[in-house]
């Protein structure tokens, strides 16, 4: 049976408006109600613990302390939690992406202990950013699975820095010489890419590969899944705010919890079984 892994990134940021917002306050109950309608759907939530969260909210594990009961509901009902680290730095009074691998490696070491204290063993880097050094550091700190790769070309209009253009669209053990492939001696951690598919919109000037998102409008989601029908495992990523009403419109995102339900129903009717990220270690998807 084909497998599907629904993942959420809890960033406390609405990337469309650029505003900080507590998605767990604003979106969780709506998503919880829909998940309760589909008990066979198990999801993985990557929760931020990092320097920026500590700077803004006082502690790096703010989400865990502020939303303890919500996160407990997830784990009590078969869902899974992982660590979501964002490498931010202040520049000219604004938070921007940090791409200094040495600085990031030091921060990973600092906050990994907090994440492990919450029994987290799976990780995802913000913006899909990794280097060989940061991936090795994650592995050395005790994490068994990482899900940061976004296999697609590097587009000229992208603001975030990353390059997974040569990465496979299925789980693999990264090579020490190039973490984006499985060639040569392996690092040891399992990398589980967020799956991508060509999904062209009317406004596109080229055929664009986009990551799979259960928050897409149903017609787009269905089309994307059908193009990946050859894969035994599909991994999606969604930000909670993408499933509730938003004043900003988007050509792909539905901002409608009912569309999320339609997408889940379509997957069930298509004979997908839902698994959490840590279960992927025990499966052969290559």
Q: pLDDT of 73-122, one tens digit each? A: 999 999 999 999 999 999 998 999 999 999 999 999 999 999 999 999 99
pLDDT at 247: 83
Q: Which two tokens stand for residue 203?
A: 């406004």
Q: Rounded to an integer, what distance in angstroms lies between the CA atom of residue 178 and that of residue 201?
A: 33
**55 has a pLDDT exceeding 60:** yes
**14 has a pLDDT exceeding 80:** no
Domain that includes residue 180, residue range: 2-282
**277 has a pLDDT exceeding 80:** yes
Q: What is the pLDDT of residues 27-46, one digit of tens each?
A: 999 999 999 999 999 999 99
CA 147 to chain centre: 7
Q: Rounded to an integer, what distance in angstroms lies between the CA atom of residue 240 and that of residue 24?
A: 8
**What is the pLDDT confidence band of residue 13, given thresholds at 50, 70 and 90?**
confident
Mean pLDDT of 130-151: 97
User: How many CB atoms neighbour CB 175 within 10 A?
Assistant: 16
User: How many CB atoms neighbour CB 31 within 10 A?
Assistant: 22
pLDDT at 286: 55
* Of 121, 39, 127, 138, residue with least CA distance to 80: 121
Which pairing describes strands 43-48 and 19-20: parallel, antiparallel, or unpaired? unpaired
φ, ψ (nearest 5 deg) of residue 144: -95, -30
For the chain, the average pLDDT equals 94
Q: Rounded to an integer, what distance in angstroms lies between the CA atom of residue 249 and that of residue 246?
A: 7
Q: Count CA atoms within 13 Å of residue 51 on its CB side.
A: 18
Mean pLDDT of 156-181: 94
Question: What percent of the chain has a predicted confidence (pLDDT) above 70?
Answer: 98
pTM for the model stands at 0.96
Lowest-pLDDT range of 51-60, 133-142, 198-207, 252-261: 198-207
φ, ψ (nearest 5 deg) of residue 20: -75, 135
Mean pLDDT of 234-249: 93
Q: Rounded to an integer, what distance in angstroms lies between the CA atom of residue 134 and that of residue 131?
A: 5
pLDDT at 160: 87
Mean pLDDT of 57-82: 98
CB-based burial, 208-240: b 16+ in 10 Å, e otherwise: bbbbbbbbbbbebbeebbeeeeebebbbbbbbb
- 3-state SS, residue 63: helix
Which CATH number do you get for residue 122?
3.20.20.370
Q: What angle do CA 277, 131, 140 make, to 5 degrees?
A: 60
**What is the pLDDT confidence band of residue 249, given thresholds at 50, 70 and 90?**
confident
**What is the pLDDT confidence band of residue 132, given thresholds at 50, 70 and 90?**
very high
How far, in Å, are 63, 76, 80, 227 from residue 69 at the CA level?
11, 10, 14, 38
Mean pLDDT of 49-62: 96
Q: Rounded to an integer, what distance in angstroms lies between the CA atom of residue 8 and that of residue 223?
A: 21
pLDDT at 18: 67
Which pairing describes strands 19-20 and 13-14: parallel, antiparallel, or unpaired? antiparallel
Question: What percent of the chain has a predicted confidence (pLDDT) above 90?
Answer: 87
Q: How many domains does the chain have?
A: 1
């Amino acid at each position: 049976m084909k497998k599907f892994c629904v993942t959420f990134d809890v960033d406390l940021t609405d990337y469309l408006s650029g505003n900080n917002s507590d998605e767990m306050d604003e979106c969780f109950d709506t998503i919880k109600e829909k998940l309760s309608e589909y008990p066979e759907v198990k999801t993985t939530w990557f929760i931020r613990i990092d320097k920026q969260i500590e700077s803004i909210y006082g502690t790096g594990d703010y989400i865990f302390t502020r939303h303890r009961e919500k996160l407990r509901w997830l784990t009590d009902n078969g869902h899974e939690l992982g660590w979501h680290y964002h490498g931010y730095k202040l520049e000219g009074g604004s938070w921007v992406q940090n791409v200094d691998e040495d600085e990031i490696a030091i921060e990973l070491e600092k906050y990994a202990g907090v994440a492990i204290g919450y029994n987290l063993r799976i990780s995802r880097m913000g913006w899909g950013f990794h280097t060989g050094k940061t991936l090795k550091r994650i592995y050395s700190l005790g994490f068994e699975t990482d899900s940061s790769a976004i296999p697609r070309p590097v587009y000229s209009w992208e603001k975030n820095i990353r390059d997974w253009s040569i990465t496979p669209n299925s789980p693999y053990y990264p090579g020490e010489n190039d973490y984006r492939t499985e060639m040569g001696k392996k690092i040891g951690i399992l990398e589980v890419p967020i799956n991508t598919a060509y999904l062209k919109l009317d406004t596109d000037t080229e055929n664009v590969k986009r990551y799979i998102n259960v928050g897409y409008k149903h017609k787009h989601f269905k089309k994307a899944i059908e193009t990946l029908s050859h894969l035994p495992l599909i991994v999606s990523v969604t930000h909670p705010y993408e499933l509730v009403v938003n004043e900003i419109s988007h050509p792909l995102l539905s901002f409608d919890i009912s569309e999320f339900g339609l997408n889940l129903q379509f997957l069930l009717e298509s004979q997908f079984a839902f698994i959490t990220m840590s279960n992927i270690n025990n499966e052969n998807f290559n």
